[in-house]
Structure 1
């Protein structure tokens, strides 16, 4: 394909058309609506191009000022999750790249399409071309391998060396980002390159689309369907099938047809309705064997990185395992193996459509066995729900995580998006939130804390008519850089409700230590070095930074009213933070 360089996008003359201008146009062409930016001395050409575009009333992505890069990346992450549209992040040379930190990990592990652009120190120092070094920091910030900082987490990285093909590089990078398994990509460009005048290039975006989703091979469909029909105790486990809400409907259809129960393991999304008779629970760092998993003679894993933890909880040795995943080999996980009869690299939505269609033409299904299985697991489902209700009763001794989550569930409606980063309460939140709508629950998909605040801003930008509730532990709240988060929420009118599950410390490291040393010295002495006493006034941090409604809740009797008041403030256009005091760790 020969690029069309006809002067159709910009009137040549006294106004410059630079690499930066072409770069910004390319972002618009690939579907980016927002640039979450932390600007520096390397972005002069981009700033000039944005100002020029505003003066000329030309349409470019909206720039969102982000005083911290972790929040910028998390906001792009949340926006992409909720909307399905990739976004861009702009950071300052290698310092800003490093400040992205765990947010790049989260996007990589959560398979989120985000294009990151970082400038680079100028490569000239005597004024040879526009953009040459003119500040002392340009020598300090010059490093040998800036791209290498994030190479272990990105699907693609490259350096922009000329304005002549910058659009092609952006489209190619985004093609990587939006093709399964999705993920972040990284481009960098020195200041002189971005300042370089160039000629407009016309790109046909339809020629740079994502790779077509994979499907099951015909023989694989027949084999899997046959084994599912023969199985006495089939089981389905999933974690992130719900990233595509349409896949949830196909999973419901399969589960209903053959009465196959479903377990959500470390769910990143709402994968299967909690009120469905075949929903039989959640698991995370489950400390004991799940009996339903142990009894299964066939386990179908759909989109899951960690369907179980073998040292604690696994299927029977003779169980047949089928693995369907967009990344069934987990190519970025050095240690990972779950021996399975078949591994299929396929899109779960497509695979389930194929399987359901195949089952329509099968006459060998034992309908009586299906009915018996349906009754059995419906009863198990009901017993689980009864147990949940018992756990949710108010405790005179203090607010329990189960009761808090149940109260959050009561204030939710069909216009609510929930972001969960509860960590030590992760399983409790999943279990008691009982989500039933596809596209209503999100987690980071990774393991770096602090995603919750920025992601809430991104989610609200993507769906401004929705009520966004962020559920977070006190440790994850502090990692989120709340001063930056709530300044941004105030400036960009993205109000949301934060509920802090505050046990005044890092409970997870304590649980991890006890998991390895259940009767160790740390337990005997009570020394875990994880408490946050004296406790900070977490809600008022947000109040000071962004005019947020702040309230600390210590009594169960105050909780429901506090949640209702917080959501009312959000609907009125003001963020709210509830610091809910749980029993200390």
Structure 2
């Protein structure tokens, strides 16, 4: 074998060979770029190879020795960013990734948009250039643009195309700070290939990334007068409702949110695709179809779209008679003139712009002060809590009984799938980084606290699931938690290449495929439009069903090196198969179970 291709072992961990024992000093621009990435604290960097950052790639391996950050390779740019997205949410910190110039950034753009809508701090570095025309190969003319960052500028918090090595270093540090500063969101910096490959210039200043000027600021507090008014409104309300939003992916949320819900005697529901409160907390009415309409006060905290949180789209867009809305969020500080994400202007009566966690603490303090020496109001609140608790018990029983008629059905109901999977992991230190949201059955999976579910994709980009689950699982591997994911077959198929990354880098994860052999969400749309037009509903499957042949997901997963079973069609087989899958997970393996479900 030629010496140049004698790579040694290609197994994980990927360890560079034939390097000197002593620590290398930076020689090239990309060496300094790699050092800055390390100094910013990134343990991993998600990548797909591309010639436009060949200098940085070399520096990460042969200068940084593939340590801090460790390179995590994926097989598609959308997977790269989605994996960083999942890792950032699970680690509650910023994540870094590198994307190949224009074509790579185009492929990644849907995942960048997802992270933008989901308000997740992903720092994206992109190879570019060379901007000097005299240094371009023929293909480089196709792969360069005057402003590469314009591709994602509408859905990043900040982006820049620096033209000198000094400005590149300064820009990288600034991008990291901006991404981590709340409201958080992705940032993008292109790194010119010429700057990567040039020797270091004289008088280059390499700032210390630990300096305060490069750190995210502390939380933004609420206006004191607004907090006092919110406390008065909650105390005076007869049927208050609190809606918790995406801060439910933070582990600290449930403790303070429970205190707020209890001290105010409020009903509680979750915003779309999030879990902030314990499922069986007596004031948790998530899934109640009427509470949003009957509440006389709604406090929406860190919600993606306050109008949706209030269940007030269309006919109630301008508000409901006798109902007040308080909005506590940072969303108003990160508006976009390009995207309509976030919904219309809600009928808000009191707007409080602040860090939601900090604002809740302020609000709790204000309520306590206003309730002191007020035993009559405290009794009203305690009586209301008793009433809410009774409603909670009835609701949870109804949610369980909903699945009785289809419990033993073939194909398998999503309720049975969810119940059996939860039974297999309920006594473990589990987390659910990904799940279906529209088809997820409320009340069958017992969430005990926030941070156990990381929320949806953000922008609705299909293919997010596998990559986000694997990215989150990498963070959970470091935390000693067992990641469990539930996703549709279309989502899994579009992002299945993430399974290779999980197997290669020994990232344990368990995925249950909710496989209805259809682009189910869209088939429902076709059924509904056919009914409205009085046309045959039985044709809704055409252009929707993935059948004849059905994809053999178990074989696909095994080809990547993972453990897999399925398709499972008999619900009585689920318990045994999920038990085996959990055993594989605990041994550090990748396990995927294909479950045939009804639409």
TM-score by length of 2: 0.87
2:31 alignment partner in structure 1: 21
Aligned residues of 1:19 and 1:166 also touching (Cα < 8 A) = no
2:267 alignment partner in structure 1: 261
Residue 542 of structure 1: CA displacement? 1.3
Residue 431 of structure 1: CA displacement? 4.2
- The alignment status of 1:46 with 2:56, answered yes or no, reads yes
1:4 alignment partner in structure 2: none
Residue 13 of structure 1: CA displacement? 13
Cα pair distance change 1:324/1:424, threshold 3 Å: closer
From 486, 499, 521, give the equivalent of 1:486: 499
2:380 alignment partner in structure 1: 369
Distance 1:229 1:264 in 2: 21
For 1:547-566, what aligned pairs fall within 5 Å after superposition? 547-566=562-581
RMSD: 2.4
Cα pair distance change 1:142/1:398, threshold 3 Å: closer
1:129 alignment partner in structure 2: none
Aligned residues of 2:473 and 2:509 also touching (Cα < 8 A) = yes
Q: What SS does the aligned partner of 2:335 have? A: coil
Unaligned runs of 5+ in 2: 1-21
Unaligned runs of 5+ in 1: 1-11, 127-131, 284-289
Aligned residues of 1:163 and 1:196 also touching (Cα < 8 A) = no
Distance 1:50 1:337 in 2: 46
Q: What SS does the aligned partner of 1:441 have? A: coil
1:417 alignment partner in structure 2: 431
1:237 alignment partner in structure 2: 243
Residue 17 of structure 1: CA displacement? 2.3
1:161-198, Cα deviation, whole Å (9 max, x unpaired): 22223322111111110111101100112211111222
Cα pair distance change 1:14/1:104, threshold 3 Å: closer
Residue 223 of structure 1: CA displacement? 0.7
Residue 83 of structure 1: CA displacement? 0.8
1:31 alignment partner in structure 2: 41
Distance 1:51 1:120 in 2: 20
Residue 436 of structure 1: CA displacement? 1.5
Distance 1:68 1:548 in 2: 22
2:365 alignment partner in structure 1: 357
From 316, 321, 325, give the equivalent of 2:320: 316
Aligned residues of 2:124 and 2:189 also touching (Cα < 8 A) = yes
Distance 1:153 1:512 in 2: 28
Aligned residues of 1:118 and 1:187 also touching (Cα < 8 A) = yes
Distance 1:217 1:140 in 2: 51
Cα pair distance change 1:522/1:567, threshold 3 Å: farther
Aligned residues of 1:78 and 1:454 also touching (Cα < 8 A) = yes
Q: What SS does the aligned partner of 1:152 have? A: helix
Residue 294 of structure 1: CA displacement? 1.5
For 1:460-471, what aligned pairs fall within 5 Å after superposition? 460-464=473-477, 465-471=480-486
Aligned residues of 2:562 and 2:592 also touching (Cα < 8 A) = no
Q: What SS does the aligned partner of 1:557 have? A: helix
Aligned residues of 1:234 and 1:299 also touching (Cα < 8 A) = yes
From 567, 571, 584, give the equivalent of 2:582: 567
TM-score by length of 1: 0.89
Residue 325 of structure 1: CA displacement? 0.8
User: How many residues align structurally?
Assistant: 555
Distance 1:123 1:82 in 2: 37
Aligned residues of 1:17 and 1:200 also touching (Cα < 8 A) = no
1:327 alignment partner in structure 2: 331
1:396-435, Cα deviation, whole Å (9 max, x unpaired): 4441111111112212245111123425414x2x543231
Residue 15 of structure 1: CA displacement? 6.1
2:175 alignment partner in structure 1: 173
Distance 2:437 2:232 in 1: 39
Aligned residues of 1:265 and 1:282 also touching (Cα < 8 A) = no
Distance 1:223 1:454 in 2: 44
2:413 alignment partner in structure 1: 400
Aligned residues of 1:113 and 1:183 also touching (Cα < 8 A) = yes
1:458-508, Cα deviation, whole Å (9 max, x unpaired): 11211212111111011111121x1x2121111100021110111110121
Q: What SS does the aligned partner of 1:245 have? A: coil
Q: What SS does the aligned partner of 1:432 have? A: coil
Aligned residues of 1:35 and 1:63 also touching (Cα < 8 A) = yes
From 492, 500, 508, give the equivalent of 1:495: 508
For 1:270-285, what aligned pairs fall within 5 Å after superposition? 270-282=275-287
Residue 219 of structure 1: CA displacement? 0.8
2:399 alignment partner in structure 1: 388
1:148 alignment partner in structure 2: 150
Q: What SS does the aligned partner of 2:281 have? A: coil
From 553, 556, 559, give the equivalent of 1:541: 556
Cα pair distance change 1:60/1:200, threshold 3 Å: farther
Distance 1:173 1:71 in 2: 21
Q: What SS does the aligned partner of 2:155 have? A: coil
Residue 573 of structure 1: CA displacement? 2.2
Cα pair distance change 1:360/1:41, threshold 3 Å: same
From 75, 86, 93, give the equivalent of 2:83: 75
